Structure 1
Amino acid sequence: MSGTVIETRALGKVYSPGTPAEVVALRDVDMRIDAGELVSIMGPSGSGKSTLMNLIGCLDTPSSGQYLCKGVDVATLDAEQRARLRLDTIGFVFQGFNLLSRMSALENVAMPMGYAGVPRPERLRRAREALDSVGLAAREGHRPSELSGGQQQRVAIARALVNRPALLLADEPTGALDSHTGEEILGLFKRLQAAGQTVVLITHDPGVAEHCDRVLEMHDGALHEQARAMAGGRP
């Protein structure tokens, strides 16, 4: 896979515009992320990183500017088309795993393909392949309560990968894990990148950002790129 996955041009987001409660969450954000990059978007609470994540994840729409996802201007899409773009192009990984407790690991991973209309035999085949790619082939029949936190996050990553997205978008993916398990998950992201996957990590933790090629920092709704490569990233 090659080309630009994410491009924003003067992207802005204002909540409750024109009212006393108006909040400018994003200010003229210009950003480009190419296929195969491992990038972190870092910043403290209130910096705008969650708002930016929601926009690039097609979970919200900007107030101004332009967002191109795989060359598609998201503003030209209606709600159904945005949902389809999200399903086909973006895989989400969350801090809290968001696995369904009554389902096995295999069923959790296969679930997004049901929404995509993939036949059941193909869903199961691809779910097993995704679990194998994160080292959990032997745990496919286990429910979340029977898995460690790190294993649950691996299931969540496999679920995010199963529709073969152009972008893997991870929100604080190590926040609920101990430091050793967090390092293992970050190592998994680096292996996925080495295989060609584009990965964006949303984090407040500089230790997570150190594993990335590029670090984009949010401050008061504005985006700044660090001038130097982080340790573990590209020289």
Structure 2
Amino acid sequence: MSQRAGDATASAVTPVILTRALEKVYAAGSEAEVVALKGVDVRILPGEFVAIMGPSGSGKSTLMNLIGCLDTPTAGSYACDGVDVSTLDAEELAVLRRDKIGFVFQGFNLLPRMSALENVAMPMGYSNVPRIERLQRASAALAAVGLHNRGGHLPSELSGGQQQRVAIARALINRPPLLLADEPTGALDSKTGEEILALFKRLRDEGHTVVLITHDAEVAAHCDRVLVMKDGELHEGTLQEGLHPPQGGSA
């Protein structure tokens, strides 16, 4: 395929994430005003594995909250899998988060009194999926992350890596186009962290879009693209850039 044909094909694909001039200002107009994001443009296509990197205070957590529809921008636009989120009310936003975004956090966020199988099945409880189907799909999701024989175990009976695999299975259970992972290896030892990153790569190879928020260059090195946040601005960057704190004020 020619470069021009390849570019045309890529341009015809609906981005999973598309932001234009995205801004976020806290306490606008007051003495405590903080400009957290400054005109962020980002385009992430289906099947990409992207790291958003930057030191504490750079704005990457603010961007994650906007991409995850957990917060609203002060200005600019964001389309998630082709849906302009500014057109949605609170209930519609909740449905979009459920159907289009799978969240994976550093702290796993599993319910301690539920088994691994029940934790994975839980998001489908809001989708009117019959219980039998929920458990079948949850079992298949656990098998997909290598935990087919751990469904009956409580989180306290699982290792940290196994708990994070349960969290990934839960994030994928509604088959969302976007998997958003915030420091997903931060609570894990290096060997287990490598295993989780290998799992993300496999999910990428299967067509999932994975966006990983991190401050760790070794983690970001596993991704296909690195975007660097500095002082609330985002640009294509390098691992070395992401290691250095922003000059001047924080965002």
Interval of TM-score (by shorter of Structure 1 and Structure 2): over 0.9
1:11 to 16, 22, 36: 22
Question: 2:221 & 2:204 partners in 1: Cα distance?
Answer: 15
Q: Which of these residues, 159, 174, 180, is aligned with residue 169 of structure 1?
A: 180
Query: Is residue 133 of structure 2 the alignment partner of residue 112 of structure 1?
Result: no
2:200 maps to which residue? Answer: 189
Distance across 1 between alignment mates of 2:62 and 2:32: 17
**Partner residue, 2:109:** 98
Q: 2: CA distance between counterparts of 1:148 and 1:99? A: 13
Q: In the TM superposition, what is the alpha-carbon distance from 1:117 to its structure 2 partner?
A: 1.6
Secondary structure of 1:110's match?
Answer: helix
SS at match of 1:130: helix
1:159 to 149, 163, 170: 170
Residue 231 of structure 1 is matched in structure 2 by none
Q: Between the two proteins, what is the percent identity of the paired residues?
A: 75
Does 2:16 align with 1:36?
no
Aligned amino acid, residue 104 of structure 2 = V
Tell me by how many angstroms 1:227 deviates. Answer: 6.1
Supply the distance in 2 between the matched residues of 1:152 and 1:187 (Cα, whole angstroms): 16
Taking structure 1 as the reference length, the TM-score comes to 0.95
Cα deviation code 1:3-52 (max 9, x no counterpart): 31000000000001001111000000000000000000001111000000
Name the aligned partner's letter for residue 61 of structure 1. T
* Residue among 72, 78, 93 paired with 1:82: 93
Superposed CA RMSD: 1.0
2:219 pairs with 1:204: no
Check conservation: 2:228, 2:238, Cα contact below 8 A: no
Whole-Å Cα distance in 2 between the matches of residues 120 and 185 of structure 1?
29
Whole-Å separation in 2 of the counterparts to 1:157 and 1:23: 33
Q: Deviations over 1:120-177 (max 9, x none)?
A: 0110011001000000000000000000000000000000000000100000000000
List structure 1 runs of 4+ shifted beyond 4 angstroms. none
Which amino acid in the other structure matches residue 213 of structure 1? D
1:21 aligns with 2:29: no
Structure 1's unaligned 5+ residue stretches are: 229-235
Q: Secondary structure at the match of 2:153?
A: coil
Distance in 2 between residues matched to 1:219 and 1:84, nearest whole Å: 32
Matched, 1:50 2:58: no
Q: How many residues align?
A: 227
CA contact (8 A) 2:14 2:82 kept: no
**C-alpha distance in 1 between matches for 2:150 and 2:179:** 23
**What runs of 5+ residues in structure 2 fail to find an aligned partner?**
1-12, 240-251
